[in-house]
Structure 1
Amino acid sequence: MNDHSVPRQRELELWAGPECTVNRVGDRYLDQMRYSGFERRLDDLDRLASLGIRRMRFPLLWERTAPNGPASADWRCAEERLQRLRTLGVQPIAGLLHHGSGPRHTSLVDQRFPELLAEYAGAVAERFPDIPAYTPVNEPLTTARFSGLYGTWYPHGRSDREFVRCLLGEVQGTMLAMRAIRRVNPQAQLVQTEDLGYTTVATPRLQYQADFENDRRWLSFDLLCGRVTREHPLWNYLRHHGASEDELLAMVDEPCPPDILGINAYITSERFLDDRLTLYPEHLRGGNGRDAYADVETARVLGAHIGGFQARLREACERYERPVAITEVHLGCTREEQLRWLGQAWTSAQHLRDEGLDVRALTVWAAFGTFDWDSLVTKEQGHYEPGMWDVRGGDDPRPTALATLARELGHGRKPSHPVLEGPGWWQRDLRLLYPHHGELESHAVIGKPLLITGATGTLGRAYARLCDMRGLPYKLLTRQDMDIADPASVAAALDRWQPWAVVNTAGYVRVDDAETDPRNWRENVEGPLVLARACAERGVRLMSFSSDLVFDGRKSQPYVETDPTAPLCAYGRTKAEAEQRILAVAPDTLMVRTAAFFGPWDRHNFVTQALAAMRRGEPWHAAHDQWVSPTYVPHLVQTSLDMLVDGEHGLWHLANRGAVSWFELAQLAAEAAGLDRSLVHARSGAELGQVACRPRYSALDSERGMVMPTLEAGLERYLDEVELPA
């Protein structure tokens, strides 16, 4: 029974899945489920079920389960998890190959590949005859491009002939796999996924190339549906590059049309071809051997907004007249942009259903995040993008705001997060990296604001700058706008601007002067406490800041959140006092302990001043007897904003990972900048004229999650972004 003959369900379903790519690069396998820990945590299935999902894209991958063939398969992991899904009432869609090339004894260009995949598929069906749906090969066309045309993944082909062989092997394998499965379970559905990015051109001269790419994107579906006849626009292309007439016509004679077409739509998949080469840097210039052109993301140059989910779903529905589903929704970006991408995808699917198109579901993808997709999973660098859960906290993944939104969608509730109202970066003019082609469409930033105190300070200005980049409405407040130590002033400001959250960067920061200045207590204890009470009364989220100077330095290992405080100076005492009082009256506050700022936008931080002196050939004196965790301001701001959007609360340590003395920091910065590190001279803190007593060792670590990048990464970004004086 084909699913398209069944009356459409009453409501859009929520599905979900973990990123499960097991791709091969040379002789190495890169395994997303190992990186994310999904392979170890059975209770991840409970987490997914709690969202209200109906189906799960379930990885039952060939390379992991039967690397030496079905006869020696290890079914234990799958058995345990499938049983848990039955208990939870979630139906699996079994994925057998996900951007992979199979076990070591085969590959996508192996003539035996289709039969070997079918052999494994039949063994899966025999072992688990109640699995209702399958995706034997995820995104065959996309995988064939990266494995056979671009040389990215194994077998690293770089020709049209190898691309065609990879694609035909995957499609033939899918057909044979479904026949083997249906011999056991005749009702098994084929849910076939593919990325359907659309190509646009700047000038008519390149329209022929766009037409080819826009025809090619349908090939996996067309082949499965038996549409690639002699009249197909790519028949001659396939024949010219190695496909035999017999194998193409065999797929026409015995098609295997998908029961549900799964559309994976990504911003980066929408491409723009431009022969105006002078507009683009050298690394983007290429061509097809006939014409030279740049191939860039459409959103970065086209003035009009891309069609995205709605356009791709509509095309698929109209072309095949079969049910469709969005089978991957993920965006590696800041949290509010991830929320907007998911929210807009859901809205698009609902609109198409309202028009009468048979859109079945939306799949929240990369439930536990993705690793190293910035390098197309060719390098193990640990670059992580969180999903609905952030796995950097160990064996207890931390839910993000995406999990909250997905749960609201899955249980039929109206999404509630205030940042959803705003447009995504792909709808604002900052998306453009090059002169826009055609009339510019751009949406204004809207929504409830953040209030940011401390308009004259480094941190306050950094939050304002990055809120601009992220499309987060905000008000940057001076003391005249809101005096945090004056209850009437605070109440008036909160009532006037009606914020959803407040970021309090105001405070007394002169550590040595704090020993005798009474303003230290007013600005670091009294003011933050007044603000916390007012926010708690109104249900407004609050983020406030503390310091590594709450510790006495007696530890020899970095301090974590549960270590007792014992400040040595007046500044540290006010910060420790404020922590306790604020969390007592407003326990939902996100209290951030951090340390030793350096950043690219102000000239007064330690690293900027040290490098400026060394560029002038002057010596720089730095303390060798005080160890800290230097914090790159943009990393702090971006991470803490994500956590604020997540609704995170309580005490968190946010500092770049690493422990160095001030002397070593100056040396590291000099070396990274290509300067003479011998200009850095070691001195004691006393020799540098410090009045307040500072801890010998105040490096920070976190037991709640390693969410901040390393110090080395911070220095690298700093040197890329620093604004040097003219």
Structure 2
Amino acid sequence: MLELWGGVECSVVRIRGTYRDQLAETGHRDRIADLDAIAGLGIRTVRYPILWEHVAPADPESLDWSWHDARLPRLHRLGIRVIAGLVHHGSGPRYTSLADPAFPTRLARYARQVAARYPWIDRFTPVNEPLTTARFAGLYGHWYPHRRSEGDFLRMVVTQCRAVLQAMRAIRTVTPGAQLIQTEDIGKTFSTPALADQAAYENERRWLSLDLLCGRVGRAHPWFGRCLAHGVSQADLEDFLTGDACPAVIGANHYLTSERYLDERVRAYPKPLRGGNGRHRYADVEAVRMRHLADQTGPKARLKEVWERYRQSLAVTEVHHGCSRDDQLRWFAEVWQAALDLRADHVPVAAVTLWSLFGAVDWNSLLLRRASDYEPGAFDIRSPQPRLTTLGRAARDLAATGQTGHPVLTAPGWWRRSGRYYAPDPHEAEPVYQDREADQAAIAVLRDAGHYAEAVAQICAARGLKSIILGEAALPAALSYAKIWAVLDPTTLPTAATAHRYPGGSFWSDFRAGTRLAALSGQADVPFLTFSSGLVFDGRTEGAPTEADPVRPSSLFGRSAAEREARVREAHPGALIARTGLVFGQGDERDMALQLLLDPPEGWSWSFRKAALIAPTYLPDLVHAALDLLIDGETGLWHLANAGGTTWPDFVRRLAAAAGQPRTEPCCGIGSGPPIPLASGRGAVMPTLDDAIARYAEAVLRPLRLSGLAAE
């Protein structure tokens, strides 16, 4: 049976004089209860760190095992087998580095100490992804010691592989049967005919670390002479031929961006993807976005290559994708199915590893930017306690039964949808994979929300989520005959926008339709998502109110919104209700942010409460976050507003600055009603307001040349 393994993102990467520590940044370092959460998924094997940089950071003679002594025995008692990682994308503690010839000997000494302290651990990954780490540290200069040459790269690959070899020898003096589980990225490079030589070079290079460890780099190997020419000793290369470092299991790490395509037609691609090798300029792009490679990419093809080259047992030791929740699940499901298919073809794939169980921070920049960009995993750590996501639910199902299901899996991931392609050549063949929309489960979106319903449908389409816009009268039939898996009611958003424009809120919003929709969904046992307003509060709560605070509206609209919430929850106890603030970002004449920067329409309030706090919310962020929660199976009240409340005048200033307007004082003010900041006690899942305004400016303000419009 195919096993489900788990992994904790644990990279300790040195960048210049500082370290990035993913155990600290994801909070796992401080939550021992995470181990019970892992066990609760049914996972019985986990890649777990005993990192050199943590145990002996300043002095090889001074080792602090306290953190590991609390956790590793607990994992053992929980029945979870540990694959111990000793260096994970690191350069070691400060007293060594990947450029240090003594790195292998020093790591081997530490590895023996680990084995002696935890004798029940019999699986090790002394160095994670040595070739990938050498690329980022020795070839591209991203990580310490920040070198940029083929010679530095090759010496770092060999140094890390020698560290693996010597570490396993040292471990086996204590644990004779210890196994090496060696991980490496298994990406492949494709190219146009003009760049075939560069692609061939990269495809030979990608095997170097595994070839060394498997004892394949003899005199006839294409990289043997190249290594010697760059200062690697022949004795060091020949030491691998003993086979002492041959992995018991090759751990293949495969990411969607690991497969690349090189094309000399650089103008056909976005500027950030353009580069070269010093001799040729070319674009280096994701191979999954090329039409003619549609049947040559993916986890099944890459795993099969590893098997055909080494004939060793395999495991997929990292599966993660930083994207929307639905595509995260689709990617994991595709890799799992690829492993099942290969096992059916007698390829010994032992396991698939759900990596980043507690997510990862800033990996979209290789940890180079401190932007706090968080990617959830099986758990989302932005809640007071890690919150189970749909990935975690899928893991629990797979561990128990080997099967999982979710309506979003009826649609393909973005890497299988026809809209993914770059199109530099109009004569390229049509995609092999065609989206089968008729077979997809759908979200019913209520039409009465007008342009908000259209915006929701557009975001759903961008995520590969089929949606059907319909009226209330058509919902019963759709629930009976269509493949509706959720009902989304955004009809409160336009009425809330009106309430924000007239802060006195002197009108009553009819809640009867929302109650009927919730009841219909509940009777059909279909999840129901709707929106509410922060105007259910009167602004007198100390601090920003959370979901646990009692409602206390001070306006007619606020009272009607509170009544609607209560009636919806009564009609559908499992409903998801997202409270939000001032919504902006429609990008048309109804967009409040645009109206604030231009002349506001007549009828708006002109009094300015400078101290009043508000909770602006970027519409795409609101919808994406609400959809993620819906897919995760969340219910009840959630507060969704961009983090970092502001005031009316400050909001206008920030919008003006993002639009490139010189104005420092807002031309108008609104907000005679109570302040309405919002905070969440359930999870801070929304991006910051600064980030939202920056993206809004890029998507809406700058294309409209708002600065010029406002000056007229």
Q: Tell me the distance in 2 between the aligned counterparts of 1:86 and 1:281.
A: 49
Q: Determine if contact 1:146/1:152 at 8 Å carries over to the other structure.
A: yes
Give, in angstroms, the shift of residue 166 of structure 1: 0.8
What SS does the corresponding residue of 1:125 show, helix, strand or coil?
helix
Tell me: CA distance 1:431–1:622, structure 2 relative to 1, closer, same or farther (3 Å): farther
Matches within 5 A, 1:615-626: 623-625=608-610, 626=612
Tell me: CA distance 1:365–1:515, structure 2 relative to 1, closer, same or farther (3 Å): closer
What SS does the corresponding residue of 1:119 show, helix, strand or coil?
helix
Give, in angstroms, the shift of residue 664 of structure 1: 2.0
Q: Determine if contact 1:655/1:701 at 8 Å carries over to the other structure.
A: yes
What SS does the corresponding residue of 1:701 show, helix, strand or coil?
coil
Match of 1:720 in 2: 698
Of 222, 227, 250, the residue aligned with 2:239 is: 250
Match of 1:314 in 2: 304
Q: Determine if contact 1:114/1:176 at 8 Å carries over to the other structure.
A: yes
Structure 1 stretches of at least 4 aligned residues deviating more than 4 Å after TM superposition? 512-518, 619-622, 682-686, 723-726
Q: Determine if contact 1:622/1:680 at 8 Å carries over to the other structure.
A: no
Give, in angstroms, the shift of residue 639 of structure 1: 0.8
Matches within 5 A, 1:298-697: 298-305=287-294, 306-394=296-384, 396-435=385-424, 438-441=428-431, 442-444=433-435, 445=437, 446-454=439-447, 457-477=450-470, 481-483=471-473, 489-507=474-492, 509=495, 510-511=498-499, 512=502, 520-521=509-510, 525-613=511-599, 623-625=608-610, 626-678=612-664, 680-681=666-667, 683=669, 685=671, 694-695=673-674, 697=675
Q: Tell me the distance in 2 between the aligned counterparts of 1:384 and 1:650.
A: 24
1:219 aligns with 2:204: no
Q: Tell me the distance in 1 between the aligned counterparts of 2:52 and 2:443.
A: 48
Q: Tell me the distance in 1 between the aligned counterparts of 2:114 and 2:120.
A: 10
Identity of paired residues, percent? 43
Give, in angstroms, the shift of residue 290 of structure 1: 2.9
Select between 404-413 and 102-111 the one with higher mean Cα deviation: 404-413
Q: Which amino acid counterpart does residue 139 of structure 1 have in structure 2?
A: E
Select between 245-254 and 375-384 the one with higher mean Cα deviation: 245-254
Q: Which amino acid counterpart does residue 179 of structure 2 have in structure 1?
A: Q
Tell me: CA distance 1:113–1:684, structure 2 relative to 1, closer, same or farther (3 Å): closer
Q: Tell me the distance in 1 between the aligned counterparts of 2:320 and 2:681.
A: 27
1:289 aligns with 2:274: no
Match of 2:134 in 1: 144
Give, in angstroms, the shift of residue 84 of structure 1: 1.1
Select between 304-313 and 216-225 the one with higher mean Cα deviation: 304-313
Give, in angstroms, the shift of residue 175 of structure 1: 0.1
Tell me: CA distance 1:184–1:469, structure 2 relative to 1, closer, same or farther (3 Å): same
Matches within 5 A, 1:75-114: 75-114=65-104
Q: Determine if contact 2:288/2:297 at 8 Å carries over to the other structure.
A: no
Q: Which amino acid counterpart does residue 219 of structure 1 have in structure 2?
A: L
1:234 aligns with 2:223: yes
Give, in angstroms, the shift of residue 245 of structure 1: 2.2
1:493-520 per-position Cα deviation (integer Å, ceiling 9, x unaligned): 32232411011012461335997767x2
Q: Tell me the distance in 1 between the aligned counterparts of 2:670 and 2:462.
A: 40
Q: Determine if contact 1:449/1:473 at 8 Å carries over to the other structure.
A: yes
Match of 1:122 in 2: 112
Q: Tell me the distance in 2 between the aligned counterparts of 1:678 and 1:231.
A: 70
Give, in angstroms, the shift of residue 420 of structure 1: 1.1
What SS does the corresponding residue of 2:30 show, helix, strand or coil?
coil
Match of 1:135 in 2: 125
What SS does the corresponding residue of 1:564 show, helix, strand or coil?
coil
Tell me: CA distance 1:366–1:683, structure 2 relative to 1, closer, same or farther (3 Å): closer
Give, in angstroms, the shift of residue 267 of structure 1: 0.8
Q: Determine if contact 2:287/2:293 at 8 Å carries over to the other structure.
A: no
Q: Determine if contact 2:547/2:680 at 8 Å carries over to the other structure.
A: yes
1:431-465 per-position Cα deviation (integer Å, ceiling 9, x unaligned): 22443684232331442100011365343222111
What SS does the corresponding residue of 1:411 show, helix, strand or coil?
helix
Q: Which amino acid counterpart does residue 486 of structure 2 have in structure 1?
A: A
Q: Which amino acid counterpart does residue 408 of structure 1 have in structure 2?
A: D
Q: Tell me the distance in 2 between the aligned counterparts of 1:108 and 1:556.
A: 53
Give, in angstroms, the shift of residue 331 of structure 1: 0.2
Q: Tell me the distance in 2 between the aligned counterparts of 1:161 and 1:671.
A: 47
Give, in angstroms, the shift of residue 606 of structure 1: 1.9
Q: Tell me the distance in 1 between the aligned counterparts of 2:487 and 2:252.
A: 39
Match of 1:154 in 2: 144
1:335-394 per-position Cα deviation (integer Å, ceiling 9, x unaligned): 000000000111000010011111100000000000001110122221101111000113
What SS does the corresponding residue of 2:491 show, helix, strand or coil?
coil
Q: Tell me the distance in 2 between the aligned counterparts of 1:515 and 1:27.
A: 55
Tell me: CA distance 1:129–1:684, structure 2 relative to 1, closer, same or farther (3 Å): closer
1:677-725 per-position Cα deviation (integer Å, ceiling 9, x unaligned): 2451455656xxxxxxx32x11001111111111111100100111755
Tell me: CA distance 1:457–1:77, structure 2 relative to 1, closer, same or farther (3 Å): same
Match of 2:708 in 1: none
Tell me: CA distance 1:40–1:630, structure 2 relative to 1, closer, same or farther (3 Å): same
Q: Determine if contact 2:55/2:63 at 8 Å carries over to the other structure.
A: yes
Tell me: CA distance 1:352–1:565, structure 2 relative to 1, closer, same or farther (3 Å): same
Q: Tell me the distance in 1 between the aligned counterparts of 2:170 and 2:503.
A: 78
Q: Which amino acid counterpart does residue 582 of structure 2 have in structure 1?
A: A
Match of 1:37 in 2: 27
Q: Determine if contact 2:440/2:483 at 8 Å carries over to the other structure.
A: no
Of 703, 710, 714, the residue aligned with 2:681 is: 703
Q: Which amino acid counterpart does residue 536 of structure 2 have in structure 1?
A: V
* TM-score of the two chains, using structure 2 as the length reference: 0.93
1:27-46 per-position Cα deviation (integer Å, ceiling 9, x unaligned): 10100000111111112111
Q: Determine if contact 1:458/1:602 at 8 Å carries over to the other structure.
A: no
Tell me: CA distance 1:709–1:586, structure 2 relative to 1, closer, same or farther (3 Å): same
Tell me: CA distance 1:292–1:516, structure 2 relative to 1, closer, same or farther (3 Å): closer
Q: Determine if contact 2:259/2:297 at 8 Å carries over to the other structure.
A: no
* TM-score of the two chains, using structure 1 as the length reference: 0.92
1:575-631 per-position Cα deviation (integer Å, ceiling 9, x unaligned): 1001112112312111110010110533212211223449xxxx9967335421000
Q: Tell me the distance in 2 between the aligned counterparts of 1:544 and 1:633.
A: 14
Q: Tell me the distance in 2 between the aligned counterparts of 1:250 and 1:143.
A: 22
Q: Tell me the distance in 2 between the aligned counterparts of 1:684 and 1:636.
A: 23
Q: Determine if contact 1:600/1:721 at 8 Å carries over to the other structure.
A: no
Q: Determine if contact 1:620/1:680 at 8 Å carries over to the other structure.
A: no
Aligned residues: 691
Give, in angstroms, the shift of residue 102 of structure 1: 0.3
Select between 38-47 and 68-77 the one with higher mean Cα deviation: 68-77
What SS does the corresponding residue of 2:430 show, helix, strand or coil?
coil
CA RMSD of aligned residues (A): 2.2
Q: Tell me the distance in 2 between the aligned counterparts of 1:324 and 1:490.
A: 49
1:82-136 per-position Cα deviation (integer Å, ceiling 9, x unaligned): 1111111110000000000000000001011000000100100111111010000
Give, in angstroms, the shift of residue 255 of structure 1: 4.3
Give, in angstroms, the shift of residue 13 of structure 1: 0.5
Match of 2:709 in 1: none
Tell me: CA distance 1:211–1:513, structure 2 relative to 1, closer, same or farther (3 Å): closer
Q: Tell me the distance in 2 between the aligned counterparts of 1:214 and 1:596.
A: 52
Tell me: CA distance 1:620–1:651, structure 2 relative to 1, closer, same or farther (3 Å): closer
Q: Determine if contact 2:507/2:556 at 8 Å carries over to the other structure.
A: no
What SS does the corresponding residue of 2:127 show, helix, strand or coil?
coil
